[in-house]
Amino acid sequence: MLPIGDVRRIDCHLHYIPTAMPNPLRRTDELGKLDLMRIAQDRPAYRDLRVMAQVMDQTGVDIGLIISTGTDHLRGMGPLSEVTEAYNRSLSEDLQAAEGRFLATAVVDPMGGGDELAQLKRSLKLPNIFGIGLTTGSDGVTLDDPRYLPIFELAAEYDVPVTVHPGQAWPGWVKPMRLNETAFLLHGLGFLLADAMALFLMANAGVFERFPSVRFMFCQLAGIAPFCCGRWDFHNKQEHLRQRLLGGETPSWASRDLRQILSQIWMDTHSQNRDAIRLVVDQVGEHTIVLGGDYPWTPTEFGLEYTMAELDALQLPPGKRRKLERDNALALIGGPWAAGLRESVPKKTLSD
């Protein structure tokens, strides 16, 4: 295990299938039908952390965060709470042999009730399990739903982050919006919409205010959310104008600033170019961005190698570059891993 001061880069968006799970775990949804999904799931790194570590070495990454993509692929394998706990236990055991190169989020089914929450509590105590992995929605139920609140409460209690990976394109949108006509529409644009909608609904429900200590990380720079700051301001002003002219209460969402909300979360860089990264840095600060390569789904030339080239083009000062490559991820991870930086990396709260 590297001393924390020697860590150069942290990739906050990797995928892996524990060895105790069936090989491979094949998706049966629209995404699983794509040829590229089948190609990606045949890459050895999905099952072999030694191969994953070799790929990380090629891109100068010292620590990789393996994040969950939900539990849909685990259903039908037995009682779900038993399957998810077995998944988390196998994941932890695999990482134990990886010499400190990896951490992972625990899988949990938000619809699983008390048994599933009980397994999550046990799983969060396992070695190398550093957080909770969710998707932007499950069974059409979005992250603002009260059924997610116990999970967020556990994240606050155990002081662990929550990673939010895009799920399917927004429920009910695929056929009416013809998103299944191309791969870009389905999980390119569809994922960006899912990220943003999940964040907006959570903001509207006051989730970030209710859980100010929970460290949320959204993939792909939170989709289109950072590009909506001006529109959010516009509609805030419209609501305040309506309230002054017609009376009544101003909706709670109209009293919030999207830039402030975005400044309290973390966002990974996966598939976003220099212009998108610059926009986030300019609007909400460089402290919000972490690296995300999405390997093995995304080949390194399209993933982290692409991101590093885009960061080179931005010509960021060394201190800012270090935040994006390492320091922000350490703040996201928290716990003993980030102990050496807690004095130099300020903790973000909604009161800042």
* Structural domains of the chain, with CATH: 4-341 (3.20.20.140)
pLDDT for position 351: 32
Stretch 42-46: mean pLDDT: 82
- What is the arithmetic mean of pLDDT over 165-193? 83
pLDDT of residue 161: 97
Bond before 296 cis per omega within 30 degrees: yes
pLDDT at 186: 82
* pTM of the complete model: 0.90
d(CA 107, CA 127): 14
Query: Quick check: 23 pLDDT over 70?
Result: no
Q: What do you get for the CA distance between the two ends of the chain, in Å?
A: 34
pLDDT tens digit string along 197-253? 999 999 999 999 999 999 999 999 999 999 999 999 999 999 889 888 998 888 888
Q: What is the pLDDT of residue 335?
A: 66
pLDDT band, very low/low/confident/very high, at 181 (cuts 50, 70, 90): confident
Per-residue pLDDT reduced to its tens digit, 267-324: 999 999 999 999 999 999 999 999 999 999 888 999 999 999 999 999 999 999 999 9
Predicted local confidence at residue 339, as pLDDT: 56
The tens digit of pLDDT for each residue in 110-152 reads 999 999 999 999 999 999 999 999 999 877 789 999 999 999 9
- Rounded CA separation 345/141 (Å): 35
pLDDT of 57 reads 94
CA 330 to chain centre: 15
Lowest mean pLDDT among 77-86, 178-187, 331-340: 331-340
By DSSP bridging, strand 162-165 and strand 216-218 are parallel
Please give the mean pLDDT across all residues of the chain: 88
